[in-house]
Amino acid sequence: MNYLDQFRDKELVRGLSQRIRTLTQGRGKPLTFMEVCGTHTMAIYQYGLRTLLPPEVRLISGPGCPVCVTPNGYLDRAIALCRQPDLIIATFGDMMRVPGSSSSLMVERAKGAEVRIVYSPLDAVRIAVKNPGKRVVFLGVGFETTAPTIAGSILAAKALGLGNYFVLASHKTMPQPMAILSADPEISVDGYLCPAHVSAIIGANAYRPLCAEYGIPCVVTGFEPTDVMQGVEMLVRQALSGESRVEIQYSRVVRWEGNLKAQAILAEVFTPFDADWRGIGVLPGSGLKIAQRYQAFDAELAIPVAVEELKEHKGCLCGEMLKGKVSPFDCPLFGKSCTPESPIGACMVSSEGTCAAAYKYAR
């Protein structure tokens, strides 16, 4: 039994595609559904799902890429840290090529900084154990799927009595940005494909207030192609019948209340604060910073550094992209001065970035 292949079933996808086509045939204005999770962005492109949907259904990407919604200042601080002596930066791979105001981690590594790619924050803890003479800073970027794993690493470091493990945290939470987008008159979304694993943590109930206030259907959807197509089908049915409820497509993993233990660990290690989302602005209570009792692990407090002046590239449309107002192909820099090898914005190089996906899979 392999729960990946079963949900990559060609026949089911074809059947769902046909059903969606039948349901929406002849509709004048297309239905616009937004996904807010980088993994959905990638899955949709990787499987070519847009080519299986009728023109009456439009899938757009929202602020689903945690690296992309993090303003340059974070990366500039990470770069300032990696230039410190006896300091190792541990990070997920997708941060390496993201451009800061004047450099990137990849370039800093080429110039001699110690930057290591890890698969799990626990690997970073192991590095700290093996290098007692150095400070290890893990770049904690991600939504509620990743934040608990980083909380876990801090608890593990505490249990080991480590004094050289730190996290530079820039976590953000759903569904606040979805509410902002729903209220924006320029964006007209007929339904949300809600993220699979974020929802496994926060629970499907988290979308109820937003759904009730704005009357937009929300379907918590898995990442495999059959899941995505079924999620779209469920949204289509709701949209056509004028309903707006929260439904769980990904029922094999997501529960209404979510993972209470992970939520408790998040509450223990992090505190909510008003985070700045690239393109959207500051959203109240939408970010997680390290709680006071775990201050010793907070890189921003424990290792003060001078950070260079913030420079955002003028032509970069990442902000508009993250609100779903602009698609990669609308950006004049896309594929010309902004490419994966020489990126101008994070959207082009994050492994969950909309432009990265479009460049790689849809040109």
- Which residues, 124 to 183, sit near other proteins by CB under 8 A? 126, 142, 145-146, 148-149, 152, 155
Site for other proteins in 339-358 (CB under 8 A): 339-343, 351-352
Considering beta carbons, is residue 118 or 302 the nearer one to other proteins? 118
Cα–Cα distances (Å) from 168 to 81, 132, 136, 192, 296, in that order, read 10, 19, 10, 31, 12
Q: How far is the CB of 360 from other proteins (least distance, A)?
A: 5
Binding to other proteins by residue 56, rule CB under 8 A? no
Among 23, 107, 296, 307, binds other proteins (CB under 8 A): 107
Contact 175/274 with Cβ under 8 angstroms? no
CA 186 to CA 64: how far, in whole Å?
19
Which of the stretches 92-100, 174-182, 273-281, 323-331 binds other proteins when contact is defined by CB under 8 A? 92-100
Which of the stretches 9-17, 163-171, 276-284, 292-300 binds other proteins when contact is defined by CB under 8 A? 9-17
Among 200, 218, 280, 288, binds other proteins (CB under 8 A): 200
Q: How far is the CB of 188 from other proteins (least distance, A)?
A: 26
Considering beta carbons, is residue 11 or 186 the nearer one to other proteins? 11
CA 170 to CA 147: how far, in whole Å?
9
Contacts of 336 (CB under 8 A, 6+ apart): none
Site for other proteins in 224-263 (CB under 8 A): 225-226, 230, 251-254, 259-262
Parallel/antiparallel/unpaired status of strands 165-172 and 281-290:
antiparallel
Which of the stretches 181-189, 208-216, 223-231, 237-245 binds other proteins when contact is defined by CB under 8 A? 223-231
Among 25, 26, 29, 51, binds other proteins (CB under 8 A): 51
Considering beta carbons, is residue 258 or 287 the nearer one to other proteins? 258
Spell out, one character per residue from 58 to 77, where the chain touches other proteins: x when CB under 8 A holds, - when not.
Answer: --------xx----------
Contacts with other proteins by CB under 8 A: the residue count is 87
Q: Helix and strand tally (H, E) in the chain? A: 14, 11
Strand order in the sheet with 165-172: 114-117, 87-91, 135-142, 165-172, 281-290, 270-277
Q: Enumerate the β-bridge partners of residue 220.
A: 194, 248
Burial class (CB in 10 A: 0-12, 13-18, 19+), 351: middle
Q: Other C-beta atoms within 10 Å of 47: how many?
A: 19
Contacts of 144 (CB under 8 A, 6+ apart): 171, 173, 174, 198, 201, 202, 266
Among 77, 97, 171, 323, binds other proteins (CB under 8 A): 97
Among 10, 29, 314, 336, binds other proteins (CB under 8 A): 10
The two structure tokens encoding residue 303: 């290792």
